[in-house]
Amino acid sequence: MNPLSRLTFRTKLLASHVGLVAVVVAIALFLLNRALGADLAAQLDRRLEEQARGAAVWVGEGRRHPDKLAGRIALIVSATVTIFDKDGKVVGDSSGGPPPRDLPPEVVAAQHGDVVGRASRVTEAGEEMHFVAVSAGDGLVLRLGAPLSGINATVREMQRQLLGASGIALALALALGFLAARVASEPLRAMTASATRLMRGDYELEPLPHSPDEFGLLSRTLSSLAAELKSKIGDLTRERDRLSAILAGMAEGVLVTDEDGKVLLANPAAAQILGSELAPGSTLAEVIAAPELLGFIEAAKTSGEIREDEIETHDRGDRTIALYVRPLGSERTQGPRGLVTVLRDLTRIVHLMALRRDFVANVSHELRTPVTAIQGYAETLLRGTADLATTRQFLEIIHRQSLRIGQLVTGLLRLSELEARPEDEAICEPVLLSAVAEAVKDTVRARLGEAETSLALELPEGLRVLGDPSGVEQVLLNLVDNAIKYGGGGSGGGGRIVVSATREGKMAILRIADSGAGIEARHLPRLFERFYRVDAGRSRDHGGSGLGLAIVKHLVEAMGGRIDVKSELGVGTTIEVRLPLAA
């Protein structure tokens, strides 16, 4: 990672500002140093050249005493003066030093006529000098020399002053850069804070006030983006909530899985049908206990085709589940794809269809026997071959069978009326159970004698329930009548029926117990279904329509109660009716 990427924007801006100033100052120092040094050297060279040309005329006129002339000229021009003859020997020298061992190059250049010889070098004494040599006539050469120490001192002083100024400039640049970086970073910091709020879901952003520059444009763009994002997220949220409400309200279960078979989405109906939590990320094998369903979904995933079927499962009892499995994506999608699985529990519908078939079959069966009998005896009577006694017998049979049909139709109408009655129309008033029981006992007294069965009433005085008086009487009458028909034949000859009642919380429990042969446990769950008979032949012998207990159940439930049955083979049957107590 680049180390610069770890620096903040303010640090980078400040460093770039100071660095730029430092580079500019360094370049300026370098250029000024070169320019000043070169300019001072050029000025010294011009001065020495002008002085050398003027002094050369004087040397040409007074060449008889060049040694003395060199000293005088040196005093006038403030420079060392050396005069060379045509052979390169020193004939005059204001410095008094030893003559050079080799002829200097500037002197050699000046010996060629009008050429001015120039040279800068460090002398044997260790001093840096600048020399200018000109021809003085008759082969003489005049050379002026001036030390460069003054120029160097001036340049060093200038450098010192420039360095001081540069330090001040850098300090000012640092201060101004810090201020500029702070001014420039504040909008960025504000926009960073706005972006952080935007990331956290706060879309109420205000643009930078009075900022026409690029930062202001960026801030306004960010605020517009936040407003647009808020609108879009609001639309998505409403769409999600609408979709969630639709999925939650569906009776069908919807299960969405990815290409790995992990749950992405599931509605409550799917969880209820499959009997699992359906947590996101769980696999199909973890949430589907029925191997039949799992195998069907896996087969649809493998084939990549739309499949639907009704499957019977046995994981939580016998159930019928309708499945519709559709792969996600288009048909051109390559490789594994996710699935959308729609489930519907058809167990109740299948059960109701079975009940309807049974109902139609039972009604047809119940009507077929009396209708066939009526039709046969009526045809015999229509032929006119029967005597008076036979005719009367046939008419009695026809009448009895018509009463049976009427009883069946009356029961069906009563049951249909109970099923269609709204709950708010149910009559609810205090009913004294002991009085109802006495009335029922009086009604069945003759039948009790015929069946050699006793009926005992063991009800507390004053026990009242809330309900329909005629409904309570019909419930008790039907249950006692059933007990006489099917529970009267005890092992001791005569049967015994006991009607009792107790209080339990806010409910009264009315019990009708007989001493009959009892009912097998497999019949008990269906005992209150219409037309269901434990012993069909015996029931028809007693003239039952198969609707009595179904009517009783609907009456009890319409009054806010519940009915249960308990039975033991060889001991007897007890039916319990729970009704709400009257205050």
Output the domain CATH number for residue 568.
Answer: 3.30.565.10
Domain match, 390 and 432 both: no
The reply to whether 305 falls in a domain is yes
Domain match, 30 and 145 both: yes
Considering 390, 419, 448, which residue would you say is the last residue of a domain? 419
Largest CA distance in the chain: 203
Kindly report, residue by residue over 288-335, the tens digit of the pLDDT.
Answer: 878 888 888 888 888 878 888 888 887 777 788 888 888 886 555 555
Domain match, 328 and 380 both: no
Q: What is the structure's pLDDT at 432?
A: 92
How far is Cα 39 from Cα 164, in angstroms, rounded to an integer? 22
What backbone torsions phi and psi does residue 181 show, to the nearest 5 degrees? Answer: -65, -40
* Pair of tokens at residue 379: 């045809």
How far is Cα 202 from Cα 225, in angstroms, rounded to an integer? 12
Torsion of CA 340, 345, 349, 350, to 10 degrees: 100
Q: What is the structure's pLDDT at 539?
A: 47
The reply to whether 502 falls in a domain is yes
User: Would you say residue 538 has pLDDT above 50?
Assistant: no
How far is Cα 348 from Cα 356, in angstroms, rounded to an integer? 12
pTM: 0.46
How far is Cα 551 from Cα 529, in angstroms, rounded to an integer? 9
Q: 466 exposed, middle or buried (CB, 10 Å; 0-12, 13-18, 19+)?
A: buried
Domain match, 532 and 569 both: yes
Q: What is the CATH number of the domain that holds 73?
A: 3.30.450.20
Q: Between the CA of residue 418 and those of 76, 220, 423, 527, what are the distances in Å?
A: 148, 71, 10, 18
User: Would you say residue 283 has pLDDT above 80?
Assistant: yes
The reply to whether 202 falls in a domain is no
The reply to whether 34 falls in a domain is yes
Q: Give the torsion sign (CA, 99, 101, 107, 112).
A: positive
Q: What is the structure's pLDDT at 492?
A: 43
Q: CB–CB of 431/469 below 8 Å?
A: yes
101 or 17, which is more confident: 101
Q: Between the CA of residue 75 and those of 71, 94, 136, 463, 507, what are the distances in Å?
A: 6, 9, 19, 154, 145
Domain match, 281 and 371 both: no
CB atoms within 10 A of CB 159: 16
Amino acid at 364: S
How far is Cα 437 from Cα 435, in angstroms, rounded to an integer? 5
**Residues 490-514, mean pLDDT to the nearest whole number:** 81
How far is Cα 89 from Cα 111, in angstroms, rounded to an integer? 12
Kindly report, residue by residue over 217-267, the tens digit of the pLDDT.
Answer: 766 776 777 777 777 877 888 888 888 888 778 888 888 888 888 888 888
The distance from CA 46 to its chain's CA centroid, rounded to whole angstroms, is 87
Domain match, 430 and 494 both: yes
The reply to whether 469 falls in a domain is yes
* Pair of tokens at residue 275: 């009997």
Nearest to 545 by CA among 406, 396, 379: 406
Determine what percent of the chain is predicted with pLDDT higher than 70. Answer: 80
Q: 42 exposed, middle or buried (CB, 10 Å; 0-12, 13-18, 19+)?
A: exposed
Domain match, 14 and 138 both: yes
Domain match, 431 and 576 both: yes
Q: Between the CA of residue 32 and those of 18, 37, 161, 368, 488, what are the distances in Å?
A: 21, 8, 12, 130, 135
Q: Which H, E and C letters describe 138-174, residue by residue?
A: CCEEEEEEEECHHHHHHHHHHHHHHHHHHHHHHHHHH
| Cα-only R_g, the chain | 63
Kindly report, residue by residue over 176-218, the tens digit of the pLDDT.
Answer: 777 776 766 666 677 677 777 777 767 666 665 656 666 667 6
247 Cβ neighbours under 8 A, 6+ residues apart? 254, 265, 267
Considering 345, 367, 390, which residue would you say is the last residue of a domain? 345
Q: How confident is the model at residue 500 (pLDDT cuts 50, 70, 90)?
A: very high
Of all helices (H) and strands (E), which one includes residue 564? strand 562-568
Q: Which domain holds residue 522?
A: 426-580
HSE value, Cβ hemisphere, 13 Å, CA-based, for 223: 13
Domain match, 410 and 452 both: no
Alpha-helical (H) ranges within 528-575 are 536-541, 548-558
Domain match, 336 and 273 both: yes
Q: Which H, E and C letters describe 214-251, residue by residue?
A: HHHHHHHHHHHHHHHHHHHHHHHHHHHHHHHHHHHHCC
Number of structural domains found in the chain: 4
229 or 556, which is more confident: 556
The reply to whether 211 falls in a domain is no
DSSP string computed for 185-202: HHHHHHHHHHHHHHHTT-
Q: For 8-17, 317-326, 469-478, which range has the lowest pLDDT when averaged over its residues?
A: 8-17
39 Cβ neighbours under 8 A, 6+ residues apart? none
CB atoms within 10 A of CB 489: 17
The reply to whether 216 falls in a domain is no
Of all helices (H) and strands (E), which one includes residue 371? helix 347-383
Q: What is the structure's pLDDT at 155?
A: 78
How far is Cα 39 from Cα 155, in angstroms, rounded to an integer? 11
Q: How confident is the model at residue 499 (pLDDT cuts 50, 70, 90)?
A: very high
How far is Cα 25 from Cα 161, in angstroms, rounded to an integer? 13
Nearest to 264 by CA among 287, 295, 292, 241: 287
Q: What is the structure's pLDDT at 578?
A: 92
The reply to whether 213 falls in a domain is no
Domain match, 387 and 451 both: no
Indicate the DSSP class of residue 423: G
Amino acid at 172: L
Considering 392, 419, 446, which residue would you say is the last residue of a domain? 419
Kindly report, residue by residue over 430-453, the tens digit of the pLDDT.
Answer: 889 999 989 888 888 888 888 888
Domain match, 16 and 109 both: yes
Q: CB–CB of 313/290 below 8 Å?
A: yes
Amino acid at 311: I
